[in-house]
Structure 1
Amino acid sequence: MDLFSRSWTALLEAVADLPDEDFARPSGCTGWLVRDLVCHLVIDAQDVLITLATPSDAEPTRDAATYWNVVEAPTGDDPLDALTVRLAAAYEEPGLLKFHLNDVGSAAGRAAGLADPGARVATRDVVLTAGDYLSAYVLEWTLHHLDLIAHLPDAAGPPAEGLARSRALLERIAGDALPPAFSDKDALLIGTGRRAPTEAERSRLGDLAGIFPLVIG
């Protein structure tokens, strides 16, 4: 629960510190500018609020790792992705988008801090504990933080503990571990297809190249 808050707070602060011109730069998400990614974070924050306000009496069907599904690599042509782009453009001014993310994002952070880790919540036709749900989102926040700063070398990165936990969760999802020689950041970028491995990294991957990259959603 604490790591969720630290990862989310770091991401919100990174967005708040961006100058307006950076919103028109590309992000690490295929087909999205930084402004599109920030708009997606607004939607993510709304999802967190909705899920934490949707209790369930059913037995959990997923945990932090199985919450995620392995999906096809994004092409930028998905209708929902295109909708996000249109929504982001409708804000017109980066300041409005920053304000909305801070407003909804702060509420999501407060709701997470008040949540009972053992309480069951329902989302996407599955049931899991609030603790597992928020743990799953540490991976979401960390990956999107890396997406945010992909072409912004001066922007602050995600917390080290968030990188480490996200790597461990990605390896649980994959059922295998990435090479120990990879830093946590490189393991996440290569392991999710956000960066192609170098020749040396590809050599270290060996048979793991048949597992990674792993695209989750």
Structure 2
Amino acid sequence: MDLFSRSWAALRTAVDELSEQDWERPSGCAGWLVRDLVCHLVIDAQDVLITLVTPAEAEPTADSATYWDRVEPPTGEDPLDALIPRLAAAYGDPGLLAFHLDDVGSAAGRAAELADPDARVGTQGKVLTVADYLSAYVLEWTLHHLDLVAHLPSAAGPSAESLAAARALLERVGGGPIPAAFSDRDALLVGTGRRVRTDAESAALGGPTGRFPLALG
């Protein structure tokens, strides 16, 4: 749960440090600019808040790995994906979007710090402990931090601690390890299809029939 807070704080700090020009640059998410990704983060923060106040009495049906579903790789054409750029554009001034993320994001961070790690919550038809739910989001924050800085070479990326934890969780989701020759960053980018694999990387991952890349939702 501490890593949730640290990875989320690092991602929000990276947003705070965006220049005016950075908001219009492409992100690592197909079809989205940086401003669109930040708008998605607002929705993510809202989801965290909603989930943390949605208690469940049933036994857990998922953990931090099985929380994730495999989905089709994003193209930017899915109705919800396509809605995000329109929402982001509606803010007009990127400063308003940054303010909204800071407002809702801070609340999500505080709620996570106050939550009982052993409590059960319901989301997306699943029941998890708070600890597992927040651990799952370390992968979300770390991947989106990589997306945020994908075309911002001078921007700070996620911490080594977050990268290592996110890689370990991705390997659990995928059902096996990514070869040690991959750095944590490359394991996440290649393992989720965010970067095109070289022939050698593809072979190391088992070719087109291997476990990776994974698109998660």
TM-score range, shorter chain: over 0.9
Distance 2:59 2:165 in 1: 25
Coordinate RMSD, CA, aligned: 1.1
Q: Does 1:10 align with 2:45?
A: no
**Alpha-carbon contact 1:28-1:150 (below 8 Å) kept:** yes
Matches of 2:71 and 2:145, distance apart in 1: 20
The alpha carbon displacement at 1:198 in A equals 2.0
Partner of 1:166: 166
Q: TM-score, normalised by structure 1?
A: 0.97
Deviations 1:68-95, CA, capped at 9 Å, x for gaps: 0011111111111111111100001110
Using the TM superposition, give the Cα deviation of residue 209 of structure 1 relative to its aligned residue in structure 2, in angstroms. 5.5
Residue type at the aligned position of 1:109 = G
Alignment of 1:66-145 (within 5 A): 66-145=66-145
Equivalent residue, structure 2, for 1:33: 33
1:93 maps to amino acid: D
- State which drifts further: 108-117 or 202-211: 202-211
State the partner residue of 2:65: 65
Percent pairwise identity: 72
Letter of the structure 2 residue corresponding to residue 198 of structure 1: T
Q: Letter of the 2:68 partner, please give it.
A: W
- How far is 1:121 from its partner? 0.4
Deviation of the 1:202 alpha carbon? 2.7
**Do structure 1's residue 201 and structure 2's residue 201 form an aligned pair?**
yes
Letter in 1 for 2:8: W
Deviations 1:31-67 (A, max 9, x none): 0000000000000000000000111111111100000
Q: Please, which runs of 5 or more residues in structure 1 have no aligned partner?
A: none
Give the TM-score taking structure 2 as reference length: 0.97
> Which amino acid in 1 is paired with 2:37?
L
Counterpart of 2:21 in 1: which secondary structure?
A: helix
Q: Distance in 2 between matches of 1:172 and 1:211?
A: 11
Q: Which runs of 4+ in 1 moved over 3 A?
A: 206-209
Query: 1:216 maps to which residue?
Result: 216
How far is 1:148 from its partner?
A: 0.3
Contact 1:36 1:84 in 2 (8 A): yes
Letter in 1 for 2:183: S
SS for the counterpart of 1:20 is coil
The amino acid across from 1:44 in the alignment is D
Ranges in structure 2 where 5+ consecutive residues have no aligned partner: none
State the aligned residue count.
217
Distance 2:131 2:137 in 1: 10
> Counterpart amino acid of 1:2?
D
Q: Structure 1, residues 150-203: CA drift from partner, whole Å, max 9, x if none?
A: 000001000111110110101001111111010000000000000012233234
Write the distance in 2 (CA, Å) between the matches of 1:137 and 1:208.
28
Instruction: Give the aligned residue type for 2:12.
Output: L
Q: How many angstroms apart in 2 are the aligned matches of 1:156 and 1:209?
A: 34
Q: Distance in 1 between matches of 2:189 and 2:125?
A: 29
**Structure 2 CA distance for aligned equivalents of residues 116 and 161 of structure 1:** 23
